[in-house]
Amino acid sequence: MALTPEGKVKAKVRRLLDAASVYYFMPATGGYGRSGAPDIVGCCDGKFFAIECKAGKGVTTALQDNELRKIKEAGGIALVINETNIMDVELVWT
């Protein structure tokens, strides 16, 4: 089964996190999870992070923006990653 463009971004992010030995998981969504929850959440060097993956010019929803804002306000790292800024994932461990 071919990956969607967003699926390709998620796969690249996961490869970068794996290569850096960073702990993360992908929360369940669709009726059981929290609406607007980021695609990937984890912890690195004691710092909570969340990553929302988008493809192309994909934009975050109001629910996603609210979740990312709350994470930042709580002192966590909240990133929106697409193909053009994929290397910003390194902000998690640098």
Residue 76 structure tokens: 């966590």
pLDDT confidence of residue 20: 97
**What pLDDT is attached to residue 1?**
67
Where helices occur in 1-92 by DSSP H, the ranges are: 5-19, 62-73
Is the pLDDT score of 72 beyond 90? yes
Give the integer Cα–Cα distance in Å for 69 and 65: 6
**Residue 47: which region, alpha, beta or left (left: phi > 0; alpha: psi -120 to 50)?**
beta
- What's the CA gap between 57 and 42, in Å, rounded? 25
Residue 32: what pLDDT? 75
pLDDT band at 64 (very low <50, low <70, confident <90, very high): very high
Show the domains of the chain with their CATH numbers. Answer: 5-92 (3.40.1350.10)
pLDDT at 75 over 70: yes
Which residue from 17, 75, 19 is spatially nearest to 51, judged by alpha carbons? Answer: 17
pTM for this model (two decimals): 0.93
Helix (H, G, I), strand (E, B) or coil at 12: helix
What pLDDT digit, counting tens, does each position of 15-59 carry? Answer: 999 999 999 999 987 777 788 999 999 999 999 999 999 999 889
